[in-house]
Chain A
Amino acid sequence: MAFVKIKDEYKRYKMGETIVAANDGVSFEIEEGDFAVIVGPSGAGKTTVLNILGGMDTADEGLVEIDGIDISDFDSKQLIRYRRESIGFVFQSYNLVPNLTAKENVELASEISVNALDPEKVLQEVGLGHRMNNFPAQLSGGEQQRVAIARALAKQPKLLLCDEPTGALDYETGKQVLKLLKDTCENYGTTVIVITHNQAITPIADRTIEINNAKVRKVTLNPNPKSVSEIEW
Chain B
Amino acid sequence: MKKKALWKDIFREISKSKMRFLSIFLIILLGVAFYSGIKATSPDMIDTADTYYRKQDLMDVKVLSTYGLTEEDIQLLEQMEGNSVEAAYTQDVILEETDLTTKVVSLPNDQKNDLNKPLIVEGRLPEKSGEIALDARSAYAEEYAIGETVTFKTDDNAVDLEDSFTGLLYEVVGFVNSPQFIENNARGNTSIGAGTLDGFAFIPEKDFTLDVYTEAYLTFANVKDSQSYSSEYESQIEDNQTAVEELLKDRPEERRDEITQRIQDEIDKGQAEIDDGLKEIEEGKQALEDAEAELANARAELDEGWQEYENGIETFETEIADGQATIDQKRQELENARIEIIDGKAELEVAQEELDESRAMLEQERANAETQVANSTAAIQNAQETIVVPINSIPAQQQNTLLSGAQAISPEMTGLIRGYFDGTVPAQTVLDAVNEVEAASAEDESSENRESLAEWITLARSVVQIPGMSVSLNTQVQVVEQLRTMDVQLGDLMSQYYDGAVPPNNTIEALSSAESRVNAIDQQLDAYEAELNAGQNQINQQRAELEAAETEIANGQAALEEAQNQLYQETENRQAELEEARLELEQGEEEYEDGLEEFETEKSDAETEIADAETEIAKGQRELDKAKAELEDITLPEYYVLDRTTNPGYAEFKDNAERIASIAQVFPVFFFLIAALVSLTTLTRMVDEQRTQIGTLKALGYTNWDISKKFLVYATLASLSGAMIGLIIGFHLFPTIIINAYGSLYNLSEVQISYYPQDMAISLLIAFLCTSVTAFVAVRVSLQSNAAELMRPKAPKVGKRILLERVPFIWDRFAFTQKITARNLFRYKRRMFMTVAGIAGCTALLLTGFGLSDSISDVGGLQYGKINQYDGIIALDTDAEEIEKEEYTQLIAETPEITSTLNVYQEIYQAEESGVNPQDVTLFVPESTDQLADFVRLNDRSSGEEYELSNDGAIISEKLADLFDLQVGDTLLLEDADNEQIEVTVDQITENYLQHFVYLTPEYYETVVGELPEATTQLVNFNESASWENDFGQELTQLDAVLGVTFTSVISNSFKDTLESLVIVTLVLVVSAALLAFVVLYNLTNINVSERIRELSTIKVLGFYDKEVTMYVYRENFLLTLMGIVVGLVLGLILHGFVLNTAELDIMMFSPVIAVSSYIYSALLTILFSTLVMVFMHVKLKNVDMLEALKTIE
Verify B1187–A97 contact, CB threshold 8 A. no
For the complex, what is the distance from the CA of A94 to the CA of B477, rounded to whole Å?
A: 224
- Listed A/B pairs (20) with beta-carbon separation below 8 Å: A56-B1186, A76-B1182, A80-B1103, A80-B1106, A83-B1101, A83-B1103, A84-B1102, A92-B1192, A93-B1193, A95-B1190, A98-B796, A98-B798, A99-B799, A104-B819, A104-B820, A112-B1103, A112-B1104, A112-B1108, A135-B798, A135-B800
Can you name the residue of chain B whose Cβ is closest to the Cβ of A95?
B1098
Partner of A80, one of B795, B796, B1104: B1104
Partner of B798, one of A83, A111, A137: A137
For the complex, what is the distance from the CA of A83 to the CA of B819, rounded to whole Å?
A: 24
Query: Does B608 lie at the interface of the complex (its beta carbon under 8 Å from any beta carbon of A)?
Result: no
Query: Does A226 lie at the interface of the complex (its beta carbon under 8 Å from any beta carbon of B)?
Result: no
Verify A83–B1102 contact, CB threshold 8 A. yes
A85 proximity list for chain B (CB < 8 A)? 1103
Partner of A135, one of B799, B1099, B1186, B1190: B799
Contact bitstring A134-162, B, C-beta under 8 A = 1, else 0? 01111000000000000100010000000
Give residues 88-107 of A contacting B (CB, 8 Å): 89, 91-93, 95-101, 104, 107
Partner of A84, one of B820, B824, B1103: B1103
Contact bitstring B1104-1125, A, C-beta under 8 A = 1, else 0? 1110100000000000000000
| Shortest beta-carbon distance from B800 to chain A in Å | 7
Give residues 662-706 of B contacting A (CB, 8 Å): none
B314 proximity list for chain A (CB < 8 A)? none
A93 proximity list for chain B (CB < 8 A)? 1190, 1192-1193
Verify B797–A98 contact, CB threshold 8 A. yes
Interface centre among A80, A137, A138, A151 (most CB of B within 10 A): A80
Chain B interface size, under 10 / 10 to 19 / 20 to 34 / 35 or more: 20 to 34
Query: Does A57 lie at the interface of the complex (its beta carbon under 8 Å from any beta carbon of B)?
Result: yes
B799 proximity list for chain A (CB < 8 A)? 98-101, 135-137
Verify A168–B1192 contact, CB threshold 8 A. yes
Verify A91–B1190 contact, CB threshold 8 A. yes
Give residues 1066-1095 of B contacting A (CB, 8 Å): 1094-1095
For the complex, what is the distance from the CA of A135 to the CA of B823, rounded to whole Å?
A: 12
B819 proximity list for chain A (CB < 8 A)? 104
Interface centre among B797, B1101, B1102, B1104 (most CB of A within 10 A): B1102
For the complex, what is the distance from the CA of A135 to the CA of B801, rounded to whole Å?
A: 9
Query: Does B816 lie at the interface of the complex (its beta carbon under 8 Å from any beta carbon of A)?
Result: yes
Query: Does B931 lie at the interface of the complex (its beta carbon under 8 Å from any beta carbon of A)?
Result: no
For the complex, what is the distance from the CA of A55 to the CA of B1101, rounded to whole Å?
A: 9
For the complex, what is the distance from the CA of A107 to the CA of B1095, rounded to whole Å?
A: 15
Verify B796–A100 contact, CB threshold 8 A. no
For the complex, what is the distance from the CA of A54 to the CA of B1101, rounded to whole Å?
A: 9
Instruction: Report which A residues bind B (CB closer than 8 A).
Output: 51, 54, 56-57, 76-77, 80-85, 87, 89, 91-93, 95-101, 104, 107-109, 111-113, 135-138, 151, 155, 164, 167-168
Can you name the residue of chain A whose Cβ is closest to the Cβ of B1183?
A76
B824 proximity list for chain A (CB < 8 A)? 99
Beyond the given A51-B1187, A108-B820, please list 18 additional residue pairs across the A-B interface where CB-CB is below 8 A.
A56-B1186, A76-B1182, A80-B1100, A80-B1104, A81-B1103, A81-B1105, A87-B1103, A91-B1192, A97-B820, A98-B797, A99-B797, A99-B827, A99-B1095, A111-B817, A112-B1104, A113-B1103, A155-B1103, A167-B1192
Can you name the residue of chain A whose Cβ is closest to the Cβ of B1102?
A109
Verify B1101–A108 contact, CB threshold 8 A. no
B1100 proximity list for chain A (CB < 8 A)? 80
B797 proximity list for chain A (CB < 8 A)? 98-99
Verify B823–A112 contact, CB threshold 8 A. no
A99 proximity list for chain B (CB < 8 A)? 797, 799, 820, 823-824, 827, 1095
| Shortest beta-carbon distance from B897 to chain A in Å | 72
Give residues 807-837 of B contacting A (CB, 8 Å): 816-817, 819-820, 823-824, 827
A95 proximity list for chain B (CB < 8 A)? 1094, 1097-1098, 1101, 1190
Can you name the residue of chain A whose Cβ is closest to the Cβ of B796?
A98
Verify B1192–A137 contact, CB threshold 8 A. no
For the complex, what is the distance from the CA of A100 to the CA of B796, rounded to whole Å?
A: 12
For the complex, what is the distance from the CA of A167 to the CA of B824, rounded to whole Å?
A: 29
B1105 proximity list for chain A (CB < 8 A)? 77, 80-81, 84
For the complex, what is the distance from the CA of A81 to the CA of B1106, rounded to whole Å?
A: 11
Verify B796–A137 contact, CB threshold 8 A. yes
For the complex, what is the distance from the CA of A84 to the CA of B1109, rounded to whole Å?
A: 13
A92 proximity list for chain B (CB < 8 A)? 1192
B1182 proximity list for chain A (CB < 8 A)? 76
Verify A111–B816 contact, CB threshold 8 A. yes
For the complex, what is the distance from the CA of A76 to the CA of B799, rounded to whole Å?
A: 32
B1095 proximity list for chain A (CB < 8 A)? 97-99
For the complex, what is the distance from the CA of A51 to the CA of B776, rounded to whole Å?
A: 42
Can you name the residue of chain A whose Cβ is closest to the Cβ of B1104?
A112
B1101 proximity list for chain A (CB < 8 A)? 54, 56, 83, 89, 95
Can you name the residue of chain A whose Cβ is closest to the Cβ of B826?
A99
For the complex, what is the distance from the CA of A98 to the CA of B1182, rounded to whole Å?
A: 22
B816 proximity list for chain A (CB < 8 A)? 104, 107-108, 111
A80 proximity list for chain B (CB < 8 A)? 1100, 1103-1106
For the complex, what is the distance from the CA of A24 to the CA of B796, rounded to whole Å?
A: 38
| Shortest beta-carbon distance from B747 to chain A in Å | 60
| Shortest beta-carbon distance from B972 to chain A in Å | 65
B817 proximity list for chain A (CB < 8 A)? 111
Can you name the residue of chain A whose Cβ is closest to the Cβ of B817?
A111
Can you name the residue of chain A whose Cβ is closest to the Cβ of B1109?
A80
Verify B823–A100 contact, CB threshold 8 A. yes
For the complex, what is the distance from the CA of A96 to the CA of B1098, rounded to whole Å?
A: 8
Verify A97–B800 contact, CB threshold 8 A. no
Query: When A and B form their complex, which 7 residue pairs have the shortest distance between CB atoms, in order from nearest?
Result: A84-B1103, A135-B799, A83-B1103, A98-B796, A99-B799, A137-B798, A95-B1098
Verify B827–A56 contact, CB threshold 8 A. no
| Shortest beta-carbon distance from B738 to chain A in Å | 48
For the complex, what is the distance from the CA of A164 to the CA of B1097, rounded to whole Å?
A: 18
A83 proximity list for chain B (CB < 8 A)? 1101-1103
| Shortest beta-carbon distance from A198 to chain B in Å | 15
Contact bitstring B329-356, A, C-beta under 8 A = 1, else 0? 0000000000000000000000000000
For the complex, what is the distance from the CA of A77 to the CA of B1109, rounded to whole Å?
A: 13
| Shortest beta-carbon distance from B798 to chain A in Å | 4
Partner of A137, one of B795, B820, B1094, B1108: B795
A168 proximity list for chain B (CB < 8 A)? 1192
Can you name the residue of chain A whose Cβ is closest to the Cβ of B828?
A99
Verify A97–B1099 contact, CB threshold 8 A. yes
For the complex, what is the distance from the CA of A92 to the CA of B795, rounded to whole Å?
A: 17
For the complex, what is the distance from the CA of A154 to the CA of B1084, rounded to whole Å?
A: 34
B823 proximity list for chain A (CB < 8 A)? 99-100
Can you name the residue of chain A whose Cβ is closest to the Cβ of B827?
A99
A167 proximity list for chain B (CB < 8 A)? 1192
For the complex, what is the distance from the CA of A186 to the CA of B1186, rounded to whole Å?
A: 31
B800 proximity list for chain A (CB < 8 A)? 135
Verify B798–A57 contact, CB threshold 8 A. no
Give residues 576-632 of B contacting A (CB, 8 Å): none
For the complex, what is the distance from the CA of A188 to the CA of B448, rounded to whole Å?
A: 261
Can you name the residue of chain B whose Cβ is closest to the Cβ of A167?
B1192
A100 proximity list for chain B (CB < 8 A)? 799, 820, 823
Can you name the residue of chain B whose Cβ is closest to the Cβ of A48?
B1187
| Shortest beta-carbon distance from A113 to chain B in Å | 8
| Shortest beta-carbon distance from B914 to chain A in Å | 64
A56 proximity list for chain B (CB < 8 A)? 1101, 1186-1187
Interface centre among B827, B1101, B1103 (most CB of A within 10 A): B1103
Can you name the residue of chain B whose Cβ is closest to the Cβ of A92?
B1192
Verify A97–B1098 contact, CB threshold 8 A. yes
Verify B1192–A112 contact, CB threshold 8 A. no
For the complex, what is the distance from the CA of A57 to the CA of B823, rounded to whole Å?
A: 32
Can you name the residue of chain B whose Cβ is closest to the Cβ of A77?
B1105
For the complex, what is the distance from the CA of A137 to the CA of B1099, rounded to whole Å?
A: 18
For the complex, what is the distance from the CA of A57 to the CA of B1095, rounded to whole Å?
A: 19
Can you name the residue of chain A whose Cβ is closest to the Cβ of B1100?
A80
B1104 proximity list for chain A (CB < 8 A)? 80, 84, 112
